[in-house]
Amino acid sequence: MSKRKVAYFYDTDVGAYTYGLGHPMKPHRIRVTHDLVTAYGMLDKMHVFRPKRASPEVMSSFHTDEYVHFLQSVTPETAEKMTFSGTRFLVGEDNPAFEGVFEFCSISAGGSIGAAQRIASGAADIAINWAGGLHHAKKREASGFCYINDIVLGIIELLRTYPRVLYIDIDCHHGDGVEEAFYTNDRVMTCSFHKFGEYFPGTGTQEDKGRGRGKGYAVNVPFKDGITDESFRSVFEPVVSRILEVFRPSAVVLQCGADSLAGDKLGCFNLTMHGHSHCVQFLRKQNIPLILLGGGGYTVKNVARTWTYETACALGIENEIDPHLPWNDYFEWFGPRYRLEVPENNMEDVNVKDGSLNIVREKALEQLQQLDCAPSVQMQDVPRESVGKHLGFGKDELKARDDLDKKLALISEREPLAARAVPLVIRLRLPRRQRAVRQPTTALHLGEGEEADEPADGAVL
C-alpha cells in the first residue's frame, strides 16, 4: 500500500482515570492499546504527539459555558447537590462525576482537536486519537458515558479550513450527539451504522434525515442483531461510495467504536476484527484526509486488538505484522488466545433472516439519490472564536441560561468546596445503557505501573 503521513495522539495519563468499580467504560483500554501498538514497533512509523489539553474556552465553542463550568467544578462528593437529584448535566448512573472527569475530557477533546489541526495544516494524511470518539455527549449534558463531544469539536476545527466534512460512525450505538450538533447544517454529513430498536440511545431511524439546510445530510443505517462482516460490508461500501460521490467531502472523520465487534459486553453485532477494520482500509484507499477516533468497546482485550490492527491499517502495514501477539505489559490479559484476532461467534444474523438488510441499504441509497450535489461554500478563514456561532451553536445561548443553570453556577462560585461536600449515595444497579442489553459485566481490577517522564504539551514523543 502507498505510504501515508500518520499522526498519533496519546496522553499517558488517560489510562489512570476510572468511571468507578463495575462501570463498563474503562479508560485503561487506551493504555492497553498503546502498549500493544508500541510492542509492534509502530511508533517509529508515525509522528507521535502528546496532545495539548482542551481548554474550557475551546470546549465552549460547542458546549454551553454553564455545562463546561459544571464539569470543571463537580466532584464525586458534590455531584448529588450540584445536579439537583440528576435533573441537569449528568443524566443517571451512566455518567458518574468521577475524580478528574474534566481532565479526562480535556485529554480526549485535545487529541481530536489536535488531530484535526494536523490534518487541516497538511502535516498529516491520517490522524489517530483512540481516546476520542465520545459521540453521545450533548451541548449541555452528558450521555452514554460521554461528557464532552470531542468529535464535534474536531469537526469544528476542520471546518475552519475545509468546506465539507463527512462523519462516519461504526459504533454499535447511534452517533446521536454528533448528528444532533449538525442536524441543520449541510457542511457536515453524518452517517451512522448502528443497532436500532430497544437499544440505547433509541434514535437513528431512516426517517431522521436532517432539517432545514441539513435536510438529507443525516444518513442513518439501522441494523438488527448479529450482523456479520459480509452483511455489514454489503451495505457500508455502496452507501459510503455514494456519499463520497454526492457529497465530495474534503475530510473524513471515522468513529471506530469497537462495541460492534463480536463478543462485546454491551454490543450485539458479530463483526470480526478484520470486518471492522475493513472500514478503515476502504476509506484509506479514497485518498481523502482521514481522522480515526475511538468510541465504545467494553471487552477490553478485543478493543486493544482491533485498534492496534487499525493503526497498522492506517500505516498500510497490516499484512506485515505477526498475528501472534508480541510480549507486552498486558500480555496475560489476552489469553487464552494470544493472537491479533477477534473471531465471529455463533450469533444468528437477523438482518439476513428477515430480509431487512436489502431494505435498509436501498432506503439509504434512495435518500442519497435525492440529494442534488455537494453544497458550495465560499472559502474564507473563519476566526477561531466565532466558528461555533458561524455554525449556529450560539443561537440559543441566552435561552440555555435558565434559572437552574444560574443557581448551579452560584453554588460552585460562592460556596467553598468543603461546604458543598455531601455524602454520595452508592447505588448497586447497573447503568441504564448496560441494563438495556441484559448482560452482566465483570469489573476489571487494573493495576497501575510506573510511567516515564512526559514531554511538554504538544511535543513529539
> What residues are designated binding site for substrate?
94, 144, 298
Which of the following is catalytic: 28, 136, 194, 278?
Answer: 136
**Is 136 known to be catalytic?**
yes
Q: Locate cell 493504555: which residue?
A: 31
Alpha helices in 83-149 (DSSP H): 101-121
Q: 268 with 438: CB under 8 angstroms?
A: no
Q: 128 with 292: CB under 8 angstroms?
A: yes
Say if residue 241 is exposed, middle or buried (CB neighbours under 10 Å; 0-12, 13-18, 19+): middle
- CA atoms of 123 and 47, how far apart (whole Å): 10
Q: Is 1 helix (H, G, I), strand (E, B) or coil?
A: coil
Output the known binding site for a divalent metal cation: 171, 173, 259
- CA atoms of 304 and 446, how far apart (whole Å): 15
Output the known binding site: 94, 144, 171, 173, 259, 298
Q: Locate cell 509522528: which residue?
A: 47
Report whether the peptide linkage leading into residue 51 is cis, meaning its omega lies within 30 degrees of zero.
Answer: no
Q: Locate cell 455489514: which residue?
A: 232
- Residue 146 DSSP code: B
Q: 166 with 150: CB under 8 angstroms?
A: no
Q: 303 with 263: CB under 8 angstroms?
A: no
Strand ordering across the sheet containing 290-293 = 47-49, 6-9, 126-129, 290-293, 251-255, 165-169, 188-195, 218-223
Q: Is the dihedral of CA 199, 153, 18, 30 positive or negative?
A: positive
Q: What is the dihedral of CA 389, 393, 398, 403, to 10 degrees?
A: -150
- What's the grid cell of residue 341? 484476532
Q: 96 with 79: CB under 8 angstroms?
A: yes
Cα 444 → chain centroid: 22
Residue 284 phi, psi dihedral angles, 5° rounding: -60, -40
- Residue 122 DSSP code: T
Which residues does the annotation mark as catalytic? 136
